């Protein structure tokens, strides 16, 4: 890094060069802010750079899992498939970085280890693992919600002598599993995608399943010339509709709006035949929006069970061996309370002679020995490779791995010891001029994340412009505002079935992580309206100060 870069004070230091960081840089630069991005990896792309396991694709439709801020970009980029595969998303992000000349303000191989607020200079000092420090008036965390893999514990890895991989940390060079005995641990979204691909290659594949997932067919298809023409004609309307949709980006973009209107208020108000027909329609459309078939599916356990039964019957139709089919059926948590997986050939993979499902709920993994996995019953599975599809330390993982210190040296880890609190999921009291894109209690994974990112970035940018015009030095959430927002977010969760599942949404998958819903479930439209109201009110809930003041005093 050139020396002058480290001594310069930036308006904005942005951490991460994924979807969030790239758009932040473009937006802030366009508004005349002097911004720089620090990226840990050796290229841009964030999650879509690091994740590259076979079969990886997004569960949001490609035309929506893309930026809407530039119409020409929308017009010139053609997606090839309904649900984009990782290489295509990464190519898109590279195209964006090049098209908007972003790379010149992105420093690669700069893993941020900490950020410290200097109360006398009104600045953040951001430190990287390579020993560099950069200073910024604003620090913007664009670190992603699914960017820190939950790696196997030493006990789970044991003294395994073969190769091992985590889906979220896949090697850059292709890995061949041909002729190998492979174990996959986990059956979440990553596993559901990688298993069919590994099954095609491996000599034998053992799937170690603790909790079966609900998996819905993606019904992926190529976007032909007719689709491209349709998109070019309609993209403005669809983009605008999506900005205000309650749940953004799931399902079929071309779906007739009438399907979205539930015929009755409860699944239980429909006859069995009506219900099955409606579920079948959503099943055939593919995508993750089946839980929207009736409005009460995520609040009423009995209604939810009708949908779970429908999907269980589908497993029976596909999986030939009845014992395996039964073991693959999710039980003990309502559909939708853990993220439903989109599948392409997942259930069919269990009909192959070279694939076995090992139910580790019944026969837990006892230890991983040098030669493979030994279960509690003493059964031994000799393996050449293990693929851990064991998920992420989601939403707060990346933020808390850095040593972020605000006013009086308080660390974010101390502040969030009982769980994260953040006003609108964007700012937290005691950490002035720090912004969290897709922060805890923002809608993140319950929306199309790219739509959420654009909303956050535009809102933050408006605030920074407002501060510049007023001559403000700092902005910070008030304790009352963030408490009220957290309570509001938590109260919505209590009305739903989400607490009934053990999920990464609630932080359950990471030992010691406080149990708290990490995502705002009120939907994008409600969230956007709230953020717009806050801005219109002159930023109620935020405290601001001028340079001459030692502490924030201007309270809206």
Distance, CA of 303 to CA of 463 (rounded, Å): 43
Distance, CA of 266 to CA of 346 (rounded, Å): 30
At its nearest, how many Å lie between ligand N01 and the CB of residue 65?
A: 9
Q: Does residue 525 belong to the site contacting ligand N01 (CB under 6 A)?
A: no
Q: Does residue 146 belong to the site contacting ligand N01 (CB under 6 A)?
A: yes
Q: What is the DSSP letter of 21?
A: H
Q: How many CA within 13 A on the CB side of residue 68?
A: 27
Backbone angles phi, psi at 555, to 5 degrees: -105, 130
From 20-28, 226-234, 386-394, 414-422, give the range in contact with ligand N01 by CB under 6 A: 386-394
Scan residues 342-361 and list those touching ligand N01 (CB under 6 A): 342, 360
Residue count (the chain): 556
At its nearest, how many Å lie between ligand N01 and the CB of residue 325?
A: 18
Q: How many CB atoms lie within 10 A of CB 380?
A: 13
Q: Which of 1, 108, 151, 156 binds ligand N01 (CB under 6 A)?
A: 156
From 35-43, 186-194, 321-329, 484-492, give the range in contact with ligand N01 by CB under 6 A: 186-194
Q: Which of 143, 193, 291, 324 binds ligand N01 (CB under 6 A)?
A: 193
Q: Which of 45, 144, 158, 186 binds ligand N01 (CB under 6 A)?
A: 186
Q: Which of 66, 125, 143, 189 binds ligand N01 (CB under 6 A)?
A: 189
Distance, CA of 359 to CA of 98 (rounded, Å): 47
Q: Which of 13, 17, 25, 58 binds ligand N01 (CB under 6 A)?
A: 58
From 311-319, 383-391, 474-482, 522-530, give the range in contact with ligand N01 by CB under 6 A: 383-391
The span from the first CA to the last CA of the chain, in angstroms, equals: 41
At its nearest, how many Å lie between ligand N01 and the CB of residue 279?
A: 21
At its nearest, how many Å lie between ligand N01 and the CB of residue 152?
A: 7
Q: Measured in whole angstroms, how far is the alpha carbon of residue 134 from the centre of its chain?
A: 28
User: Which residue bears the tokens 């006892």?
Assistant: 366
Q: Does residue 504 belong to the site contacting ligand N01 (CB under 6 A)?
A: yes
Q: Does residue 330 belong to the site contacting ligand N01 (CB under 6 A)?
A: no
User: Of the two residues 289 and 411, which places its CB atom closer to ligand N01 in the complex?
Assistant: 289
At its nearest, how many Å lie between ligand N01 and the CB of residue 554?
A: 39
Dihedral (C-alpha) 380, 385, 387, 388: value to the nearest 10 degrees? 60
Q: What is the DSSP letter of 474?
A: E
Q: How many CA within 13 A on the CB side of residue 73?
A: 17
From 17-25, 94-102, 124-132, 206-214, give the range in contact with ligand N01 by CB under 6 A: 206-214
Q: Measured in whole angstroms, how far is the alpha carbon of residue 84 from the centre of its chain?
A: 15
Name the strand (E) or helix (H) holding 257: helix 257-260
What residues have CB less than 8 Å from 494, skipping those under 6 apart? Answer: none
CA angle 417, 499, 440 (to 5 degrees): 40
Q: Which of 84, 188, 286, 336 binds ligand N01 (CB under 6 A)?
A: 188
User: Of the two residues 59 and 482, which places its CB atom closer to ligand N01 in the complex?
Assistant: 59
Q: Does residue 429 belong to the site contacting ligand N01 (CB under 6 A)?
A: no
At its nearest, how many Å lie between ligand N01 and the CB of residue 365?
A: 6
CA 312 vs CA 213, 285, 296, 307, 316: distances in Å: 11, 18, 20, 9, 7
CA 180 vs CA 172, 296, 347, 357, 465: distances in Å: 20, 46, 21, 17, 57
Q: Which of 94, 210, 260, 305 binds ligand N01 (CB under 6 A)?
A: 210
Q: Which of 86, 143, 190, 242 binds ligand N01 (CB under 6 A)?
A: 190
User: Of the two residues 35 and 450, which places its CB atom closer to ligand N01 in the complex?
Assistant: 450
Footprint on this chain of ligand N01 (rule: CB under 6 A) = 58-59, 146, 156, 167, 185-191, 193, 208, 210-211, 339, 342, 360, 365, 389-392, 445, 504, 509
């Amino acid at each position: 890094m050139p020396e002058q870069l480290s001594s310069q004070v930036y308006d904005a230091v942005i951490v991460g060069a994924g979807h969030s960081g790239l758009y932040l840089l473009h937006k802030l630069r366009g508004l005349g802010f002097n911004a720089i991005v620090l990226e840990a990896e050796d290229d841009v792309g964030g999650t879509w750079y690091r994740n590259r396991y076979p079969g990886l694709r997004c569960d949001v439709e490609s035309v929506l899992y893309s930026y809407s801020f530039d119409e020409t970009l929308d017009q010139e980029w053609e997606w090839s498939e309904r649900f984009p595969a990782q290489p295509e998303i990464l190519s898109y992000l590279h195209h964006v970085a090049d098209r908007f000349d972003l790379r010149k303000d992105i420093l690669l191989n700069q893993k941020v280890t900490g950020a410290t607020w200097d109360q006398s200079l009104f600045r953040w000092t951001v430190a990287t693992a390579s020993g560099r420090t950069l200073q910024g008036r604003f620090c913007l965390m664009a670190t992603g919600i699914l960017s820190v893999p939950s790696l196997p514990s030493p006990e789970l890895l044991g003294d395994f002598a073969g190769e091992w991989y985590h889906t979220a940390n896949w090697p850059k060079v292709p890995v061949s599993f041909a002729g190998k005995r492979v174990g996959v641990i986990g059956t979440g979204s990553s596993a559901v995608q990688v298993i069919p691909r590994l099954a095609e290659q491996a000599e034998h594949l053992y799937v170690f399943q603790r909790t079966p997932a609900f998996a819905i067919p993606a019904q992926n298809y190529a976007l032909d010339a007719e689709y491209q023409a349709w998109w070019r004609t309609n993209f403005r309307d669809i983009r605008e509709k999506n900005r205000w949709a309650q749940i953004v980006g799931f399902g079929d973009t071309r779906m007739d709006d009438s399907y979205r209107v539930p015929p009755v208020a409860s699944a239980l108000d429909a006859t069995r035949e009506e219900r099955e027909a409606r579920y079948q329609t959503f099943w055939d459309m593919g995508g993750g929006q089946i839980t929207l078939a009736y409005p009460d599916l995520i609040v009423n356990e009995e209604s939810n069970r009708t949908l779970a039964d429908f999907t269980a019957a589908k497993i029976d139709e596909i999986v030939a061996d009845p014992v395996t089919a039964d073991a693959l059926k999710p039980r003990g948590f309502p559909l939708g309370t853990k993220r439903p997986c989109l599948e392409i050939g997942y259930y069919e993979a269990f009909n192959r002679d070279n694939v076995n499902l090992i139910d580790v709920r019944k026969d837990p993994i006892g230890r991983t020995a040098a030669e493979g996995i030994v279960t509690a019953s003493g059964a031994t599975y000799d393996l050449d490779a293990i693929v851990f599809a064991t998920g992420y330390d989601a939403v707060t993982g990346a933020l808390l791995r850095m040593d972020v210190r605000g006013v009086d040296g308080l660390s974010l880890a101390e502040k969030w010891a009982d769980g994260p609190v953040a006003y609108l999921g964007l700012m937290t009291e005691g950490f002035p001029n720090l912004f969290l894109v897709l922060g805890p209690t923002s809608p993140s994974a319950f929306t199309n994340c790219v739509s959420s990112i654009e909303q956050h970035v535009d809102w933050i940018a408006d605030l920074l412009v407002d501060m510049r015009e007023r001559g403000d030095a700092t902005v910070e959430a008030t304790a009352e505002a963030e408490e009220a927002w957290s309570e509001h977010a938590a109260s919505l969760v209590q009305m739903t079935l989400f607490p009934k599942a053990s999920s990464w949404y609630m932080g359950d998958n990471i030992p010691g992580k406080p149990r708290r819903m990490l995502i705002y479930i009120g939907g994008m439209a409600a969230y956007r309206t709230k953020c717009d109201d806050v801005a219109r009110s002159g930023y109620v809930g935020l405290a601001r100060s001028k340079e001459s003041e030692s502490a924030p005093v201007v309270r809206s």
